[in-house]
Chain A
Amino acid sequence: KAGVTQTPRYLIKTRGQQVTLSCSPISGHRSVSWYQQTPGQGLQFLFEYFSETQRNKGNFPGRFSGRQFSNSRSEMNVSTLELGDSALYLCASSLGAVYNEQFFGPGTRLTVL
């Protein structure tokens, strides 16, 4: 089975721009979660989608948004980029059942200049 894939792997943007990151979960997985990882804050949960519905959300400003499609693929969008948004953005998928066994992708490294 193919693992979680994220595109693009690397991205450079400038302040004020917006960006869209994509995540394809493992086949059959219906839950997709997004995380931001920075050296200062570590791994922080952004949001989770299951069957196209956002079920859970972390403490991030409204500039961070996401969506999930009927095939479980997910995208996250960050508008009006700030320097502090530079981070590794990780996507994880799971069956969405009882246990939090999540499978992570390799991440998208976003640099904001």
Chain B
Amino acid sequence: DAKTTQPPSMDCAEGRAANLPCNHSTISGNEYVYWYRQIHSQGPQYIIHGLKNNETNEMASLIITEDRKSSTLILPHATLRDTAVYYCIGQTDSWGKLQFGAGTQVVVTP
């Protein structure tokens, strides 16, 4: 599994885009980049994943650099409900095992 590095915390203004960086310089060719988030006192929630191409869904966009050494999760219009710890995970499919790191604590302020 790839070692991922994320900033420990970030602040974001409500209504603005939140850009969450993740470094995964050791990622191998068959390892996906997954993003999950955990709102306080709840279970983690899947956000998005990608391999090489940029991905977008109703929650967020994932931008992966061409060399795949880093990625950015973009929350286009942050709301107070987006306050959570965001986890970036780089790994292959491994039978239900997700390797969570420390994540980034994102606080969205009014």
Closest chain-B Cβ to A69's Cβ sits at a distance in Å of 17
A101–B96 CB distance below 8 A? no
B42–A100 CB distance below 8 A? no
Chain A residues near B95 (CB-CB < 8 A): 31, 48, 50, 55-56
Q: How large is the interface on B (under 10, 10 to 19, 20 to 34, 35 or more residues)?
A: 20 to 34
**A-B interface pairs (CB < 8 A), number:** 71
A104–B43 CB distance below 8 A? yes
Given A100-B32, A100-B34, A100-B91, is A45 in contact with B97 using a C-beta cutoff of 8 Å? yes
B101–A105 CB distance below 8 A? no
The chain A residue with its CB closest to the CB of B102 is: A42
Interface secondary structure of B, over-half rule? loop
A104–B45 CB distance below 8 A? yes
Any chain B CB within 8 A of the CB of A26?
no
- CB-contacts of B53-110 with A (<8 A): 87, 89, 91, 93-102
Chain B residues near A102 (CB-CB < 8 A): 44, 46, 96, 98
Q: How large is the interface on A (under 10, 10 to 19, 20 to 34, 35 or more residues)?
A: 20 to 34
Chain B residues near A104 (CB-CB < 8 A): 42-45
Closest chain-B Cβ to A43's Cβ sits at a distance in Å of 4
Closest chain-A Cβ to B12's Cβ sits at a distance in Å of 23
Closest chain-B Cβ to A4's Cβ sits at a distance in Å of 7
Which of these, A31, A33, A42, A96, contacts B101 with CB under 8 Å?
A: A42
The chain B residue with its CB closest to the CB of A101 is: B46
Closest chain-B Cβ to A72's Cβ sits at a distance in Å of 13
Any chain B CB within 8 A of the CB of A8?
no
B97–A107 CB distance below 8 A? no
B97–A43 CB distance below 8 A? no
Residues on A lying within 8 angstroms of B by beta carbon are: 4, 31-33, 35, 42-45, 48-50, 55-56, 58, 90, 92, 94, 96, 98-107
Please give me the 7 A-B residue pairs with the lowest Cβ-Cβ distance, nearest first.
A104-B43, A48-B96, A43-B100, A33-B96, A56-B95, A55-B95, A45-B97
